[in-house]
Amino acid sequence: MLKHWLRWLTGLGAAGALVAASATPAVAAAPIAPYFQDTTLAVGSAPTTRGLLLYADEPTTLSKVSVRYDYRSLADKITIAPEDGQRCTAPEPGALVCEEPFDVVLYETPPLGSGIYRNGAKRVRIGLTEDAQLGDSGDVVVSFEAAGGRRGSYTSRVRVGEGVDLAGGPYTTVSSKPGGKFTVPLAVANAGHTTVEGFVAVFDLTYSIRTRDRFSNCRYSDDHLVSCQFDEKIPVGSGLATTLNFELAKDTYAPTNQSGYAQFMTTADFEDLTRVRETVGARAATPGNGPKLTLAKAPGATRQADQTDIGPGNDSTGWTIKTTGTNGTDLAAIGASLKGPAGAVVTATVGFRNNGPATLDNVSEEYEAAAHYDVELPPGTSAVEAPEACWLRPGTRTYQCASEMLLVAGQTYTLKFRLRIDKVIPNARGTVWVNAPCDCAGGSSFQDDIKPANDKAAIVVNASQGGGGQGDGGGGGDGGALPITGTPTNLIAGIGALLLVTGVGGYLLARRRSNRFVA
């Protein structure tokens, strides 16, 4: 069963690299940003599958796509062969050119409103020849061309290493109340036939799971543990173990189950996954300044050769934290008060605030919006721009909007509607209704609000004196316009432990595209 971060890995593309191509101005300026993950192959192992991923910051359809794999620096060491039944040609030794049989449509990746659009070309298999030897290394330049002169390339590294098999310890269950402390085991074993020369544990922990420890060989984002790197050897047939001290945030929803996972990988596999961070100059998670976390009293060892995990199906461990007690959530609607003459276009900043005391987190399980809300337009108005997270109910004047997956207690979540005042109607009233009933793709809306009396707020439009043009507008509820806020940019929980390992998670979450033209 795929782990949570691994589901993001396979769903969004090669882990932290999914938006790394947009992390610098030089790459962001390109209309399409390609990425092809680094690879370490074990002598005697089966070929591995890789695919070219393509990113854009707007919906894009690519036609007549051709992909070239140039591996001449490794022509006698590796082979690249087509997969997925695609047709390819080899114009020269060490090169493969494949034509995409259909258009490649770049679609928006979760979370909703991310502003990152992605799809991939058909995959290829990378294998080793009989001449490949331990320590061989070279580049594969993967380039694409499409109709309209769109093109780009990415240089990926391929190394030859030795195969090992890391195995995670058993899954366990513990209990804690919001704000409480708990301890979980971290265990890893060598299930292969070669000594493991160092490894990395990459953590996927829900938003509520925090730590106060700051080990020097681990990396953190605020109070979230991201990864730990170990130089201990693991002899064949043996294992190492330690314990980790965690605590639940006080705003953890209860009762509920929180989950955490650790994925073990070789040092080389971790480098393959994260080297792109250095390529684009992205920020990394922060190393600790405390003592070193160790799993045994084994001395540090220098890596003799690059290693890759050739049995990755068993390389994780995980924990379920049963959160006890009762800690609920109050979502309060935010309306707006607008003024303008007929013909004016005004901005309605509407949404809701999570008054707490608990945070709503839909990231760890469902990857769906934590809540939904309706925005009914006041009579006499029409929308000229609506947020991408909203869609018009057929035959109505009501937009249904999806929230983000994580709604932090104390945070405000608002979107902007641009409304044209077609006809001035005194005190024309629309409604913002958070937790409104909906036929939602990911299930029903949040139904356990502890204070439903404030689930609705008004959008009121009145005339103003003066000429036409831009009108004023703002949020209602607690008075005045409210800032557009969202998931904290330093978030690693659930949807991005691995993203922040590569240093681009915050960049992804900060890139919100809140408006689109609809009329």
Q: Domain map of the chain by residue range?
A: 4-159, 164-326, 328-486
Q: What is the DSSP letter of 445?
A: P
According to the per-residue pLDDT averaged within each range, which of 158-172, 195-209, 321-335 is highest? Answer: 321-335
Report the b/e string of 314-327 with b at 16+ CB within 10 A.
ebbbbbebebeeeb
> Cα–Cα distance between 519 and 517 in angstroms, integer?
6
Q: Give the tens place of pLDDT for each residue, 114-155.
A: 667 888 899 999 999 999 999 999 999 999 999 989 999 999
pLDDT-derived band at 195, boundaries 50, 70, 90: very high
Mean pLDDT for all residues in the chain = 80
- What is the pLDDT averaged over residues 263-286? 77
The residues near 138 (Cβ < 8 Å, ≥ 6 apart) are 71, 73, 74, 77, 78, 157, 158
Q: Give the tens place of pLDDT for each residue, 486-515.
A: 322 222 222 233 343 433 333 222 222 222
Topology of domain 328-486, per CATH? Immunoglobulin-like (2.60.40)
Q: What pLDDT sits at residue 136?
A: 92
Q: What pLDDT sits at residue 493?
A: 28
Question: For the structural domain made of 4-159, what CATH number should be given?
Answer: 2.60.40.10
Domain 164-326 has CATH 2.60.40.10: yes
Q: What percent of the chain has pLDDT over 90?
A: 57
The phi, psi pair for 436, rounded to 5°, reads -65, 145
Q: What is the pTM of this model?
A: 0.79
Task: Specify the higher pLDDT residue, 294 or 507.
Answer: 294
Q: What pLDDT sits at residue 67?
A: 96
Amino acid at 471: G
Q: Are 368 and 406 in contact (CB under 8 A)?
A: no
> Cα–Cα distance between 176 and 250 in angstroms, integer?
11
> Cα–Cα distance between 438 and 430 in angstroms, integer?
18
Q: What pLDDT sits at residue 476?
A: 38
Q: Which two tokens stand for residue 109?
A: 């990746």
pLDDT at 352 over 50: yes
Query: What SS3 state is found at 472?
Result: strand
pLDDT at 361 over 50: yes
Q: Give the tens place of pLDDT for each residue, 43-55.
A: 888 899 999 988 8
- What is the pLDDT averaged over residues 390-409? 92
> What is the pairing mode between strands 95-99 and 66-70?
antiparallel
Q: Are 47 and 160 in contact (CB under 8 A)?
A: no
pLDDT-derived band at 306, boundaries 50, 70, 90: confident
Determine if the peptide bond prior to 299 is cis (ω within 30°): no
Phi-psi region of 149 (alpha: psi -120 to 50; beta: other; left: phi over 0): left
According to the per-residue pLDDT averaged within each range, which of 157-171, 298-312, 351-365, 497-511 is highest? Answer: 157-171
